[in-house]
Amino acid sequence: MKKLPKEAFIQDQKLIQQAKSFFLEKLCQELSLLEVQAPILTFQGDGIQDDLNGVEKPVAVQSQTLSRPLEIVQSLAKWKRQLLARSDFDIGTGIVTQMRAIRPDEEALTERHSLYVDQWDWEKVMSTDEASLDYLKETVETLYKAMRATDQLVASAMQREPLLPAEITFIQSEELMKQYPDLSPSQREYRACKEYGAVFIIGIGGELSDGTIHDGRAPDYDDWSSPAEDGYYGLNGDILVWNPVLEDAFELSSMGIRVSPEVMLQQLQIRNCEHRLNYLWHQQLMAGHLPQTIGGGIGQSRLMMFLLQKAHIGQVQFSVWPEELEIPVL
């Protein structure tokens, strides 16, 4: 068993707690969010479960007291929207949770991928008239402002220069594909992050003009099919930054304007998932019982790993790893 240097470990833990608390407070202030408690379980087959890329299998749980099978959540995209409807939140306000999840279908456990997911899952009510690329960009810039403020806090504590540039650069996934047609999506992200430092790649999940997609996205939470501008599509995206320790692009957040009933129906048809219309959550949306929202997730351990300049996510969270995997002590 490797020993952890006590003083350095304590110092890191205090800084992580300080940075998390500071970021959450900033996020709530900037986006008018209320922190609420998050569930860890959902009923199987009610449509609340987030299917992510559509291939991940959630962890099943059987209760001795409940007849229906349960699943551990993979994210809370649909649950948040339902809660906002039940609590009748006003336009311009929303919620944030400290979501904990298990994603056993990770293809590989790497320095940035863990079976255990901890993120700030947030959702905000908006009007249907605001569903535009401008509103998406405005929200991204507000979120990025909270990230930069936290970066400056940690930089001062660590006596280093801030890592994040003053501005975040917006790039369409289609535009990135045309700029680097011979590169894979991850290689394109590398180029963009290396050049700009922080980018928001727009249009994740929709088909590009070459027949590929930049990355997977479920058809029933983010809007990746609506026209944006200049012939591009998608009102969602990912925040990625240049990680100087890994010397690679590094994703911190996934977010987007959520599907309207019409957009969800269209995207379910594109993905041949119309059977989901039989789920309770999807019926609620189609009946107009759920508000139009914007939302996403921000990786807690991902952000701490980046800000504290750690080489492995296991240095900022406690999870399980292959025995042969060497995780740096600090």
Please give the C-alpha separations between residue 199 and each of 169, 170, 249, 256, 323, in angstroms, as whole numbers. 5, 6, 10, 15, 35
% residues pLDDT > 70 (the chain)? 95
The answer to whether residue 251 is catalytic is yes
Does the structure show a pLDDT above 60 at 46? yes
pLDDT in tens, 13-29: 999 999 999 999 999 99
The answer to whether residue 50 is catalytic is yes
The answer to whether residue 254 is catalytic is yes
Which stretch of DSSP H or E encloses residue 33? strand 33-35
The answer to whether residue 230 is catalytic is no
Q: Of 75, 114, 225, 254, which one is the catalytic site residue?
A: 254
pLDDT in tens, 147-175: 999 999 999 999 999 999 999 999 999 99
The answer to whether residue 81 is catalytic is no
Q: Of 50, 51, 111, 223, which one is the catalytic site residue?
A: 50
17-31, 35-49, 87-101, 159-173: segment of lowest average pLDDT: 35-49
% residues pLDDT > 90 (the chain)? 72
